[in-house]
């Protein structure tokens, strides 16, 4: 006896509008991160999965489960600055002293009120439940049909006919893509006609903020091409062709269809690469030139330093030789005001006469300058007197020559 096992149909077969909604919900950051908003979202998920608690023990188990699975991890990873709502949420969970069922009900209501930190929530609500929560927990196959459902109904009731306000045998008519409650109206099947274009446009304009975001003509073009691609694949496979061959052939045809666009993109990329290479080569050349200039400057600086050291050594050597000559008793350098003594020639009959030994002559060194008159503003008009703190110059004693110059 054979037993058949039935599996639920996968929900991957979906419309483009559903895929559009899924893609938008996937951009919500606090679905999987470890932020405070994610902790609040985890609490809402837990409450949605356990909507009713009949006993006090059920509330206790639910709160303990939330602490172990989400809240303790959030406290461990919590760091940096915090917000007022975050501090209040932590205080409510940690400082709770509920002991009765009524106190637990009030505690859970306080925790549910922190849903405000997630608003505005992308996708809106369905029966006061966030659509993003339904997508994560239940994965509904028709997200586009419940997209901002409660928000649209708050503007105009989608459960009644837009013409006669009847609520029986209604048909939902999509007025513009993408298909969602904000772009659809309800008509009863008893013969009600669609509104005029101006009235319909005015009704749809009120719910336009809650519609799926369209992305221009290319959005619709991509949907049409993907639809044709999938249709061709199914038809070829139904005709007996191997799916692998059909799959490759379909994508090859799609590539050939967009070859001009792809070639344009590739040409632009190739041009960008060439420009980048040229800029890099220019930068390398400039770097090489700069290095050569730097080496030349360093070489000139080294030569200048060597020349400076050589000049300093020559100056020191000249100073040492000058000091050495003075220590050896050589005559000092005379100034114009102190010329050296002129040679005096003795007559040949003088006893001290020698050809290379003239008689000494008195020489004044240091040079004698005209005596300056010392005076102040108090002695103006009076005869100048020498300064009491300046001693008069006393020349050295001349060499006493006892010889008689003339006999």
pLDDT confidence of residue 73: 87
The model's pTM:
0.55
pLDDT winner (highest mean) among 74-88, 139-153, 204-218, 366-380 = 139-153
Claim to verify: residue 171 and residue 114 sit in the same structural domain: no
Number of folded domains that form the chain:
3
Q: Which domain holds residue 244?
A: 217-257
Claim to verify: residue 209 and residue 230 sit in the same structural domain: no
Encode burial over 373-403: b for 16+ CB neighbours within 10 A, e otherwise: eeeeeeeeeeeeeeeeeeeeeeeeeeeeeee
pLDDT confidence of residue 6: 33
Q: Is residue 104 part of a domain?
A: yes
Categorize the per-residue pLDDT at 343 as very low, low, confident or very high, splitting at 50, 70 and 90: low
Q: Is residue 330 part of a domain?
A: no
Q: Is residue 253 part of a domain?
A: yes
Claim to verify: residue 67 and residue 168 sit in the same structural domain: no
327: pLDDT strictly greater than 80: no
Categorize the per-residue pLDDT at 391 as very low, low, confident or very high, splitting at 50, 70 and 90: low
Q: Is residue 271 part of a domain?
A: no
Claim to verify: residue 134 and residue 44 sit in the same structural domain: yes
State how far the alpha carbon of 237 is from the alpha carbons of 9, 224, 245, 352, 360, in Å.
Answer: 21, 20, 9, 146, 139
Q: What is the mean pLDDT of residues 180-187?
A: 87
Q: What is the mean pLDDT of residues 149-176?
A: 83
The answer to whether 20 and 135 are in contact (CB under 8 A) is no
Categorize the per-residue pLDDT at 287 as very low, low, confident or very high, splitting at 50, 70 and 90: very high
7: pLDDT strictly greater than 50: no
Q: Which of 64-73, 150-159, 269-278, 339-348 has the lowest mean pLDDT?
A: 339-348
Claim to verify: residue 163 and residue 98 sit in the same structural domain: no
Of 257, 287, 313, which residue sits at a domain end?
257
Claim to verify: residue 221 and residue 210 sit in the same structural domain: no
2: pLDDT strictly greater than 50: no
Claim to verify: residue 36 and residue 115 sit in the same structural domain: yes
Q: Is residue 5 part of a domain?
A: no
For the segment 15-45, what is each residue's pLDDT rounded down to a tens digit? 888 888 888 898 888 888 788 898 999 999 9
Average pLDDT across the chain, whole number: 78
| pLDDT over 70 percentage in the chain | 75
Claim to verify: residue 182 and residue 224 sit in the same structural domain: no
Distance, in Å, from the CA atom of 375 to the CA atom of 141, rounded to the nearest integer, reads 119
Of 138, 171, 199, which residue sits at a domain end?
138
Claim to verify: residue 114 and residue 179 sit in the same structural domain: no
118: pLDDT strictly greater than 70: yes
The answer to whether 187 and 163 are in contact (CB under 8 A) is yes
């Amino acid at each position: 006896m054979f037993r058949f096992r039935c599996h639920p149909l996968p929900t991957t077969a979906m419309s483009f509008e559903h895929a559009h909604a899924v893609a938008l919900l996937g951009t919500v950051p606090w679905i999987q991160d470890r932020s405070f908003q994610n902790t609040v979202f985890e609490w809402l998920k837990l409450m949605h999965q356990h909507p009713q608690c009949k006993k006090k023990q059920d509330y206790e188990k639910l709160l303990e489960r939330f602490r172990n699975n989400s809240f303790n991890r959030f406290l461990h990873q919590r760091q940096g600055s915090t917000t007022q709502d975050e501090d209040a949420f932590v205080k409510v969970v940690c400082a709770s002293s509920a002991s009765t069922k009524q106190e637990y009900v009030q505690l859970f209501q306080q925790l549910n009120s922190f849903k405000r930190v997630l608003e505005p929530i992308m996708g809106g609500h369905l029966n006061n439940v966030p659509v993003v929560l339904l997508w994560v927990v239940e994965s509904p196959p028709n997200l586009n049909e419940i997209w901002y459902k409660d928000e649209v109904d708050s503007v105009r009731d989608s459960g009644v006919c837009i013409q006669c306000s009847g609520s029986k045998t209604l048909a939902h008519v999509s007025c513009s893509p993408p298909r969602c409650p904000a772009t659809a109206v309800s008509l009863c099947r008893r013969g009600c006609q669609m509104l005029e274009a101006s009235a319909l446009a005015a009704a749809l304009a009120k719910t336009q903020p809650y519609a799926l975001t369209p992305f221009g003509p290319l959005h619709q073009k991509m949907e049409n091409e993907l639809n044709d691609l999938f249709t061709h694949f199914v038809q070829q496979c139904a005709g007996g062709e191997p799916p692998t061959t059909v799959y490759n052939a379909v994508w090859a045809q799609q590539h050939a269809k967009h070859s001009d666009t792809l070639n344009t993109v590739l040409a632009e990329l190739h041009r960008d690469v060439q420009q980048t290479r040229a800029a890099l080569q220019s930068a390398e050349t400039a770097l090489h030139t700069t290095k050569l200039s730097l080496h030349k400057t360093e070489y000139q600086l080294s030569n200048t330093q060597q020349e400076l050291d050589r000049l300093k050594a020559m100056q020191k050597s000249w100073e040492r030789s000058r000091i050495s000559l003075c220590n050896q008793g050589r005559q000092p350098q005379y100034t114009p005001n102190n010329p050296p003594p002129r040679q005096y020639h003795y007559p040949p009959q003088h006893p001290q006469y020698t050809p290379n030994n003239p008689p000494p002559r008195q020489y004044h060194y240091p040079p004698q300058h005209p005596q300056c008159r010392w005076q102040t503003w108090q002695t103006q008009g009076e005869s100048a007197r020498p300064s009491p703190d300046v001693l008069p110059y006393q020349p050295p004693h001349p060499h006493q020559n006892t010889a008689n110059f003339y006999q």
